[in-house]
Structure 1
Amino acid sequence: MVPVLATALAASVGAALAVVAAAELLRRQAALARRRIGKALGEEALDADRVWRKKYGGPPLDLLVLGDSVAAGLGAERRKDTLGARIARGLAKRLHRPVRLRVGAVVGSESSALAAQLDALDPAYRPDVAVVVVGGNDVTHRVPVPVSVSHLVEAVDRLHALGCVVVVGTCPDLGALRPVPQPLRALGARASRQLAAAQAVAARAAGAYPVSLAEVVGPFFVDHPDEAFSLDRFHPSALGYRRTAKALVPSVLRALGEEDGTPPGPGHERPEGRARTDLSGR
């Protein structure tokens, strides 16, 4: 009995030491990733708020963009290359209508910050469509998925209460981040996929249009990191934002009731509930 107990105790101690060693390895790798990425781009994205494509004339479509640094456009060197501006220009070209962009996204935001971003809007502001891209910081800060998703759903509900349709770009694939060493990158990839899947389910149930960024545009970031990422190798470059906006625009048009009969393709989903799409009076 004693030898068996001793063997079991040794195995337990060995397992505990392995867990501690793994945790220390991940801690060191996280510190290394932070040093590699740094803050070469600063913490302020370019201000892209304006009416895009005024030449079309008529009342502009009001587009709101909320979320984290990707939504804010950090990494773009020209305001026309930010995510919001890219989406606005794509919509204007498709609709032959000016688009008034309002970016409420804040660099470094987790999903919990969406409430403050909405609170910061003018009480009289009424967007026609909102695009929300958030989740990467929830993963890196280890926010539990149910907590993260609950904040997203609350934001979607508040946006619907403002009378607009909502498109959610789910958490990008963190496995595309080359500066993050293995096995931390693999763990980040798995966690980001889990959050993205939960976001998609919750967004659909809340009446939003989810777009799987990992599925639609993720392969481009994995296969072409030098072109897709900006100086810090963490945020998208101008080309990365162009590809991300291109991935989102079809679902934005669908949400607005402006489909051309061509299916948007894999990674684009419809909401389970009813969403407002009639903007003829605005």
Structure 2
Amino acid sequence: MERWLHGALTLGLAPLLLVQGRWVRRRTQLLPEPPGPRAGVIGQGPVLRLLIVGDSSAAGVGAAHQDEALSGRLTKALARDFTVHWRLQACTGHKLADVRAAVRGLPAEPFDAVVVAVGVNDATGRTRMAHWLHGLQSLVTELKQRHQAQQVILSALPPVHLFPALPQPLRWYLGRCATRLDQAQRRWVAGQPGCEVVGAGFPMDLRYMAHDGFHPGPLAYEAWAGALAERIRARQNRLGSLPQHVE
């Protein structure tokens, strides 16, 4: 029933959604990926090998420098407890299929934790549900087998229905698409050991967004990184990588 309803909505709204989509693309400023390192070593303590992959949000669009973006905020948060050997592999516009291809192109090095931030472009590009789930399975399998990933964190899709850059009903429709992908992702992850979905953890407030009304801003990246660091730290604590007094 849900699949039929979504198909009917897509067909019925298609003309208006197409016009609004073109209007948004013409009106919205294309923000660049911020400068800064995309690999390095930071911190002290037990070694933690970290990989961040994904789309423009993983690449830090909306921040002025990688230090203020997801990679900079996350590695800094983890550096209090670990010597973090990290790598960022992300690109604006990437869908899940593109992220899979990017991961396949990496050297076969091991990672303790992998953060995956992808899905908004799949929602706006209307990736089919079967392709979405197959892509998740293939990506996580690749990360676990080829990169020995102990922990794979899939970032929850953001509430696209609240993005101020999008007019109605496009905002509502794309929000619905994102919610469907996120719900499917959460159901799939429930049966995957060493894999979890983590929300960004910041309010949909204009202060937290970039001025394009579509991407996270520095405050959002800081909150998002904090939520991810907490989950990575908790996992490493269970594995015995951290002293028990560390919260």
TM-score by length of 2: 0.84
Q: Per-residue displacement from partner, 1:88-122 (whole Å, max 9, x unpaired)?
A: 111222x2x22122011222110111221212212
Q: Per-residue displacement from partner, 1:192-215 (whole Å, max 9, x unpaired)?
A: 1111111112123222011134xx
Q: Does 1:25 align with 2:16?
A: yes
Q: Per-residue displacement from partner, 1:128-179 (whole Å, max 9, x unpaired)?
A: 1101111000001010122112212211111111222211112111112111
Corresponding residue number in structure 1 for 2:137: 153
Structural mapping, 1:62-77, within 5 Å: 62-77=49-64
- Match for residue 94 of structure 2 among 89, 104, 109: 109
Corresponding residue number in structure 1 for 2:5: none
TM-score by length of 1: 0.75
Q: Is the 8 A contact 1:109 1:137 kept in 2?
A: yes
Give, in angstroms, the shift of residue 21 of structure 1: 7.4
Corresponding residue number in structure 1 for 2:159: 173
* Structure-2 separation of matches of 1:21 and 1:209: 35
* Structure-1 separation of matches of 2:159 and 2:26: 20
Corresponding residue number in structure 2 for 1:50: 40
Cα 1:192/1:21, change in 2 over 3 Å: closer
Q: Secondary structure at the match of 1:205?
A: coil
Corresponding residue number in structure 2 for 1:193: 179
* Structure-1 separation of matches of 2:105 and 2:123: 25
Give, in angstroms, the shift of residue 241 of structure 1: 0.7
- Note the residue ranges of structure 1 that are not aligned, 5 or more in a row: 1-17, 260-276
Q: Is the 8 A contact 1:173 1:189 kept in 2?
A: yes
* Structure-2 separation of matches of 1:186 and 1:248: 28
* Structure-1 separation of matches of 2:190 and 2:27: 37
Q: Is the 8 A contact 2:34 2:66 kept in 1?
A: no
Cα 1:27/1:88, change in 2 over 3 Å: same
- Name which one, 1 or 2, has greater alpha-carbon Rg: 1
Give, in angstroms, the shift of residue 279 of structure 1: 5.9
Which portions of structure 1, spanning 4 or more consecutive aligned residues, are displaced by more than 3 angstroms?
18-22, 43-48, 277-280
Greater fraction of residues in strand: 2
Structural mapping, 1:1-282, within 5 Å: 22-39=13-30, 41-42=31-32, 46-53=36-43, 56=44, 58=45, 60-93=47-80, 95=81, 97-123=82-108, 125-161=109-145, 162-164=147-149, 165-207=151-193, 208-213=195-200, 216-217=201-202, 220-221=203-204, 224-225=205-206, 227-256=207-236, 258=237, 277=239
The amino acid that maps onto 1:201 is: R
Q: Is the 8 A contact 1:48 1:80 kept in 2?
A: no
Q: Is the 8 A contact 2:46 2:241 kept in 1?
A: no
* Structure-2 separation of matches of 1:180 and 1:48: 30
* Structure-1 separation of matches of 2:71 and 2:10: 43
Over the matched positions of the two proteins, sequence identity in percent amounts to 29
Q: Per-residue displacement from partner, 1:4-49 (whole Å, max 9, x unpaired)?
A: xxxxxxxxxxxxxx9987422111111122122231x235764332
Q: Secondary structure at the match of 1:249?
A: helix
